Amino acid sequence: MDLFDDKAKALDPTREPLASRMRPCNLDEVVGQERILGAGRLLRRAIEADRLSSIILYGPPGCGKTSIAEVIARATSRHFERASGVTANVAVLRGLFELAAHHRRHDGVETILFIDEIHRFSKSQQDVLLPHVEDGTITLIGATTHNPQFFINSPLISRSLIFELDSLSVDAIVALLERALREERGLALTGAVADREALEHLATVCEGDARRALNALEVAVLTTEAGADGNLHVTREVAEDSIQRKAVLYDRDEEGHYDTISAFIKSVRGSDPQAAVYWLAKMLYAGEDPRFIARRLVILASEDIGNADPRGLTMAVSAMQGVEFVGMPEARIVLSQATTYLATAPKSNAAYVAVDEAMKDVEEGRSLAVPLHLRNVKVTSVDGAASAEYVYPHNCEGHFTEQQYAGTDRTYYRPSAEGYEETLRKRMAHWDALREMARPSA
């Protein structure tokens, strides 16, 4: 076999898919999961010491759940069996238990049973696993994209360690794609080269799914003709075509990123829901982290709406939690609802101005002592006389009484006439009038 035979074999579309060929061979080849597999972390220590109990790997598609399970089996020299929550039934599971017991009894080899999409098992199917996990016949590794606390039986949860995997970053996926291009088990024999922006486009569009990115790269290489230099050159245009999605002018962590989020926030602040939704769509299409957008909406809800519509902050925080819970692509709907609500809400920056003015006073040295009647313990004056007593407002008419709370005549919070702040403004004016009436005349 010569180089050309090798190249033809590498380009053979009937071979094992690239994503499968590029599965990590050891712990050091696993990328993007340093939080659970970094040096000194619990899961890595358990694997290296071969003291692994049953575990459940929870994370989005393509983040490496199956790969980690295979690496664990290889690192601990255990027999590896797999099943699917979609296709396996109780009969299949019992057959796997018998096989595991045979390996343990006759070969002295422990078995890892990897169950993909374990959340799809019924309660009775999950219950079948319990005695075999309990007696050590199998070491269970379950994989799920759903929160185990909601979809896995409590007895099984109590016998397992749960590890949440992170969605792979753009840099982590680019590193995987570069490895695939330079290693012989990947695409090295094709002589293919790829522009950095092509790899970044694939990594961004695939939204943390390494399998999807590797499959797209393989399609790009298999469908690209060699150039005059004999090399296969994957450009951004080729990458766009291979994954059927155009790149947009949006450079993460560069000007395109900051300009677009700025336009988005200013559109919401400016009460233009049409523009706001457009910039939202552009960010999501370009692969922006939806959690970043949700965090900015939470800030905006207080900074630009505040008490003009107190429900705005509730909406924004609920959206942030919803985005975290459902993930993309459904998170786009949650973000759109929050964006359009906040864009059409009455606006006020009074709360924002109030705290900044107060902080400036503190910074410039206007440090006020807490009045004696507001302190946590009762205080007497130097001559032994009792200090002024705190008056409990709820014992007074209208749940209000005039008393000194800070010893300053500064006004920080000045409600606008917008939305609910108009109600607050009138209420504060009423209280100010009561205070004026309660003060002794000169």
Q: What is the 3-state secondary structure (H, E, C) of the chain?
A: CCHHHHHHHHHCCCCCCHHHHCCCCCHHHCCCCHHHHCCCCHHHHHHHCCCCCCEEEECCCCCCHHHHHHHHHHHCCCEEEEEECCCCCHHHHHHHHHHHHHHHHHHCCCEEEEEECHHHCCHHHHHHHHHHHHCCCCEEEEEECCCHHHHCCHHHHHCCEEEECCCCCHHHHHHHHHHHHHCCCCCHHHCCEECHHHHHHHHHHCCCCHHHHHHHHHHHHHCCCCCCCCCCEECHHHHHHHHCCCCCCCCCCCHHHHHHHHHHHHHHHCCCHHHHHHHHHHHHHCCCCHHHHHHHHHHHHHHHHHHHCCHHHHHHHHHHHHHHHHCCCCHHHHHHHHHHHHHHCCCCCHHHHHHHHHHHHHHCCCCCCCCHHHCCCCCECCCCCECCCCCCHHHCHHHCCCCCCCCCCCCCCCCCCCCHHHHHHHHHHHHHHHHHHHCCCC
> Percent of the chain at pLDDT above 90?
41
Same domain, 295 and 379: no
CATH number for 298: 1.20.272.10
pLDDT of residue 227: 67
pLDDT of residue 277: 93
- Residue 440 pLDDT greater than 80, yes or no: no
Taking residues 39-63, report their average pLDDT: 89
Out of 45-54, 273-282, 344-353, 431-440, pick the least confident. Answer: 431-440
- Residue 95 pLDDT greater than 80, yes or no: yes
CATH number for 215: 1.10.8.60
Q: Please indicate, yes or no, if residue 17 is contained in any of the structural domains.
A: no
> Percent of the chain at pLDDT above 70?
89
Same domain, 155 and 174: no
Taking residues 322-335, report their average pLDDT: 91
Query: What CA–CA distance (Å, rounded) separates 294 from 274?
Result: 18
| Tens-digit pLDDT profile for residues 220-245 | 888 887 766 667 888 888 887 777 65
Answer for the pair 437, 322: CB distance below 8 angstroms, yes or no: no
Q: Please indicate, yes or no, if residue 182 is contained in any of the structural domains.
A: yes
Q: 253 pLDDT band (50/70/90 cuts)?
A: very low
Q: Please indicate, yes or no, if residue 140 is contained in any of the structural domains.
A: yes
Taking residues 387-416, report their average pLDDT: 83
Closest CA to 69 of 132, 141, 17, 20: 141
Same domain, 41 and 141: yes
Q: Please indicate, yes or no, if residue 27 is contained in any of the structural domains.
A: no
Domain containing residue 311: 255-344
Q: Please indicate, yes or no, if residue 21 is contained in any of the structural domains.
A: no
Q: Please indicate, yes or no, if residue 356 is contained in any of the structural domains.
A: no
- Residue where a domain terminates, one of 243, 270, 293: 243
- Residue where a domain terminates, one of 109, 140, 164: 164
Answer for the pair 26, 73: CB distance below 8 angstroms, yes or no: no
| Tens-digit pLDDT profile for residues 64-92 | 999 999 999 999 999 999 998 888 888 99
Same domain, 159 and 178: no
- Amino acid letter, 92: V
pLDDT of residue 378: 63
pLDDT of residue 248: 52
Q: Please indicate, yes or no, if residue 149 is contained in any of the structural domains.
A: yes
Q: Please indicate, yes or no, if residue 358 is contained in any of the structural domains.
A: no
Q: What is the pTM of this model?
A: 0.56
Domain total of the chain: 4
pLDDT of residue 8: 47
pLDDT of residue 274: 92
Same domain, 268 and 322: yes
Taking residues 128-151, report their average pLDDT: 90
- Residue where a domain terminates, one of 243, 269, 287: 243
Same domain, 229 and 292: no
Q: How many CA atoms lie within 13 A of 94 on its CB side?
A: 5
Query: What CA–CA distance (Å, rounded) separates 332 from 398?
Result: 45
Q: 125 pLDDT band (50/70/90 cuts)?
A: confident
pLDDT of residue 244: 61
- Give whole-number Cα distances, 312 to 184, 235, 293, 419, in Å: 55, 44, 15, 12
pLDDT of residue 78: 92
